[in-house]
Chains A and B, each alone.
Chain A
Amino acid sequence: MRIGYYPGCSLEGTARDFGISVRKSCELLGIELADLDDWSCCGATAAHNTNHLLSIALPARNLALAEQQGLEKLLSPCAACSNRLITAHKEMAESETLRNEVAEIIEMPYSGAVKVLNYLDLMLEFGIENLGPKVVRKLENFKIACYYGCLLVRPPKVIEFDDPENPQSMDKIVTALGAEAVDWEYKVECCGGGFTISDPALVETLSHDIIENAEAEGANAIAVSCPLCHANLDMKQSAINARFREKRKVPVYYVSELVALACGATPEEAAINKHFVDSYALIE
């Protein structure tokens, strides 16, 4: 299985643990990643909150590059990037005027041939039933609250992935890895996304409620597939504890780290040493 790969800025920076574990898990599963050459930023929230045309043109450059490089499918693990790439793809498919305008702006032909996949998509394509046989270390101590957040499933008409209110794909993946997926209420609630730095009070309040509900429903870990969710739940957990005078220590894993760990990677190869909340206790 060979697939195009768009890491996006986060996976090479603040979400390096996601980037490392995506590569490691794919290596262990025998999925070959072909890096998109000379990729650029998708524009993220900053672009779509301030300038519509820019918010389509920035992802379009990457989609057009993927076409040029003969990549039919493009893995974009970051939920913010995949959401922006899919939105741009969809809007350009629906409007010829926009498609032509964007093609002029990026000075590249664009046909819309590339299919964008998030990491959960990739696991579904690999096959949940094929994951089991690759597992060498069952994640038996893990009771996981699978947290999807916003960007992986919404808006459903554009993203067309899983159920927007009660998604199951990540739950199925962690179950195949030998973990228990707990039933909880905050699966698709918002963590505050890109306001990590610009509005800490908002982010810490929303993220607090998510961690609190996960623990109340019996989870001892949270799994995510988005760098913003991870930053807000893991990096900010000490600030959240300070704000609410609590002492929670709930480890937050990227789903790719869990796949890598279960398929034989060492904790360092899975990059869980890069978390802010200690994440070793559940692994013997």
Chain B
Amino acid sequence: MTAKIEQGAIQSFAKEVEEAGGGRVADCYQCGKCSAGCPVASFMDLLPHQVVRYVQLGLRDEVLASRTIWVCASCQTCTTRCPKEFEIAHLMDILREISLKEGKVAVSEKDKLTFHRAFLKSVEHHGRIFELGMIQNFKMKTAAKQAVTDPRVLFQDAMMGKGMLLKNKLHFLPGNIKGKKHVKRIFDRVREREKSKVRE
């Protein structure tokens, strides 16, 4: 990948990440220990230490559209081993959040985002996870296109689900909690705050 590095961009992206709580990216001296220990490095387009380098260099779009930030499983091995105590796994959280807000999520990683959304929707509606409903929601969104040519995809996890039901590990109906409106309000308030922050 060739990318143009601009002076102004270098400082502004590092500053943006730092202000969002992502730590001082200048601390990283590129030893590569994070990438050496990363269990999912082989699934990434940018290695973890390269992500930090790209942030240092202000390569904003390249980082935000990378597969890496969504492939990261948040295992925290990088953060644990960093000799500079830079919190790389937390940086990934910050980058995901920005990528999501700006609609830059890599196409190949959209299933993960769809899953996160199905999960949170379930929590927002019931206060707790209703697993069967969440999996159905996820499947309908991700498998609908494929299902036209191969209807089996709709039942792939359903087969696993059948085993789960037999073992009484999945509920047919959601269990709602007393405070479910309270939980819904938490979601609403977080959204309101984010809107007002954008306006600022």
Binding site for B on A (CB under 8 A): 9-10, 12-17, 38-41, 43-54, 57-58, 61, 101, 104-107, 149-150, 154-157, 164-165, 188-190, 192-195, 197-199, 202, 206, 235, 273-274, 276
The closest CB in chain A to the CB of B132 belongs to: A13
**Residue from A41, A107, A165, A199 in contact with B112 in the complex, judged by beta carbons closer than 8 Å:** A199
A241 CB, nearest partner CB in chain B, Å? 14
CB proximity to A under 8 Å, residues B155-200 = 157, 160, 163-164, 167-171, 175, 177-180, 182-183, 185-187, 189-190, 193-194
> What is the 8 Å Cβ interface bit string for chain B, positions 72-92, against chain A (1 contact, 0 not)?
011111011000010101000
Contact A274 B76 (CB under 8 A): no
- The CA of A247 and the CA of B93, in the complex, are separated in Å by 37
Contact A105 B96 (CB under 8 A): no
Q: Using A41-B129, A155-B76 as known contacts, list a sample of 7 further A-B pairs with CB atoms less than 8 Å apart, ordered by residue number in A.
A: A13-B171, A41-B123, A46-B115, A50-B100, A105-B193, A165-B80, A198-B112
* Known A-B contacts A50-B120, A105-B186; A13 and B193 likewise in contact (beta carbons under 8 Å): no
Taking CB atoms, residues of chain A closer than 8 Å to B187 are 54
The closest CB in chain A to the CB of B120 belongs to: A46
- The CA of A17 and the CA of B185, in the complex, are separated in Å by 32
Contact A155 B194 (CB under 8 A): no
CB proximity to A under 8 Å, residues B92-108 = 93-94, 96-97, 100
Contact A193 B177 (CB under 8 A): no
Contact B163 A43 (CB under 8 A): no
The closest CB in chain A to the CB of B167 belongs to: A274
- The CA of A272 and the CA of B42, in the complex, are separated in Å by 35
Q: Is the interface of B mostly helix, strand, loop or mixed?
A: helix
- The CA of A52 and the CA of B19, in the complex, are separated in Å by 13
Contact A53 B93 (CB under 8 A): no
Contact B74 A48 (CB under 8 A): yes
Chain B residues bordering chain A, tally (CB within 8 A) = 59
A254 CB, nearest partner CB in chain B, Å? 13
Taking CB atoms, residues of chain B closer than 8 Å to A16 are 167-169
> What is the 8 Å Cβ interface bit string for chain B, positions 15-40, against chain A (1 contact, 0 not)?
00000010000000000000000011
Contact A40 B123 (CB under 8 A): yes
Contact A50 B157 (CB under 8 A): no
**Residue from A106, A150, A197, A206 in contact with B135 in the complex, judged by beta carbons closer than 8 Å:** A197
B14 CB, nearest partner CB in chain A, Å? 18
- The CA of A16 and the CA of B187, in the complex, are separated in Å by 27
Taking CB atoms, residues of chain B closer than 8 Å to A45 are 74, 116
Contact B178 A202 (CB under 8 A): no
Taking CB atoms, residues of chain B closer than 8 Å to A235 are 160, 163-164
The closest CB in chain B to the CB of A198 belongs to: B115
